[in-house]
């Protein structure tokens, strides 16, 4: 039994609890609530209003993610575990993330916090369960879509991308394609988010889905031009129509959203 699967089993077993009379919640060490085809689990001590707020945010996120990729329904049964903080994430998952999605296990984890990547992780769940897991050469497309959906920065993706051009901070596309997770996290995610936004807004969901279900080698055929030509088009357009950006707080931006 792999370590991640063992952890999942432990968390699953911990949440079998007795039924409380209040609003259908089950309480013991953890408390769980079934809403449609989703099971939401929290630490029992979190107040019910907060639990319901996270559930509402999840349900809204699912609908918004479906709209973004042009899908109408999502019928998969998903288990969502809300943990207290990053240290608890590290304890159970081996990594101090603020959120993790496992579409193959239909399980998602998020921290309970004012800023939590609920929509980002739901975008992973929805897109991968509707369209499949993209090829490793399209990790940037996968993470870019989730970042675009979440819209967590105070700056628009376009403004971020233009600033990256202006300061010569853009990551080379070959490095995004071949080694995404070893790049500067904040730059990689937001650079990819704008590329995704551009592809969707200029070429539509149909071609985007075709690429998602293919690999980077099919980009030319699907979009009838190389990816590098699209990137050059983006850069020329942004430089031509956008002023020099002076009101960008790089230090704050580099801290990320969560």
Classify each residue of 3-30 as buried b or exposed e, where b means 16 or more C-beta atoms within 10 Å of its C-beta. Answer: eeeebbeebeeebebeeeeeeebbeeeb
CA 73 vs CA 67, 109, 127, 134: distances in Å: 9, 22, 12, 20
The structure's pTM equals: 0.88
Chain-centre distance for alpha carbon 151 = 10
Q: Alpha-carbon distance 250 to 2, whole Å?
A: 40
pLDDT-derived band at 248 (thresholds 50, 70, 90) equals very high
Provide the pLDDT for residue 242.
Answer: 72
pLDDT-derived band at 7 (thresholds 50, 70, 90) equals very low
Quick: pLDDT tens for 22-53: 455 555 578 999 999 999 999 999 999 999 99
Lay out the sheet containing 30-35: strands in order across. Answer: 18-19, 26-27, 30-35, 38-43, 78-83, 107-111, 99-102
Q: What is the mean pLDDT of residues 70-89?
A: 96
Contacts of 170 by beta carbon, 8 Å cutoff, 6+ apart: 161, 164, 187, 191
Provide the pLDDT for residue 23.
Answer: 56
Quick: pLDDT tens for 170-209: 999 999 999 999 999 999 999 999 999 999 999 999 999 9
Residue 18 pLDDT more than 50? no
Q: What is the 3-state secondary structure (H, E, C) of the chain?
A: CCHHHHHHHHHHHHCCCEECCCCCCEECCEEEEEECCEEEEEECCCCHHHHHHHHHHHHHHHHHHHHHCCCCCCCCCEEEEEECCHHHHHHHHCCCCCEEEEHHHCEEEEECCCCCCHHHHHHHHHHHHHHCCCCHHHHHHHHHHHHHHHCCCCCCHHHHHHHHHHCCCCCCHHHHHHCHHHCCHHHHHHHHHHHHHHHHHHHHHHHHHHHHCCCHHHHHHHHCCCHHHHHHHHHHHHHHHCCCCCCCCHHHHHCCCC
* β-strands 26-27, 30-35 pairing: antiparallel
Provide the pLDDT for residue 77.
Answer: 97
């Amino acid at each position: 039994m792999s370590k991640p699967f063992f952890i999942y089993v432990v968390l699953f077993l911990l949440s079998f609890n007795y039924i409380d009379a209040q609003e259908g919640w089950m309480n013991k060490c953890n408390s769980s609530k079934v809403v449609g085809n989703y099971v939401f689990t929290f630490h029992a001590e979190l107040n019910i209003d907060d639990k319901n707020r996270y559930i509402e945010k999840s349900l809204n996120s699912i609908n918004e993610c479906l709209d973004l990729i042009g899908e109408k329904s999502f019928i998969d049964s998903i288990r969502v575990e809300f943990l207290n903080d990053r240290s608890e994430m590290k304890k159970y998952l081996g990594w101090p993330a603020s959120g993790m999605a496992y579409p193959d296990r239909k399980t998602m984890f998020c921290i309970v916090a004012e800023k939590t990547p609920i929509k980002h992780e739901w975008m992973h769940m929805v897109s991968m369960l509707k369209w499949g897991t993209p090829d490793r050469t399209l990790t940037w497309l996968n993470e870019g879509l989730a970042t675009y959906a979440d819209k967590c920065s105070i700056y628009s993706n376009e403004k971020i991308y233009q600033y990256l051009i202006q300061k010569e901070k853009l990551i080379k596309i070959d490095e995004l394609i071949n080694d995404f997770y070893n790049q500067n996290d904040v730059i990689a995610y937001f650079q990819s988010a704008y590329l995704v936004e551009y592809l969707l807004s200029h070429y539509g969901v149909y071609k985007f889905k075709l690429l998602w279900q293919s690999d980077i080698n099919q980009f030319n055929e699907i979009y009838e031009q190389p990816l590098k030509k699209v990137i050059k088009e983006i850069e020329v357009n942004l430089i031509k129509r956008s002023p020099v950006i002076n009101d960008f707080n790089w230090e704050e931006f580099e801290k990320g959203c969560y």
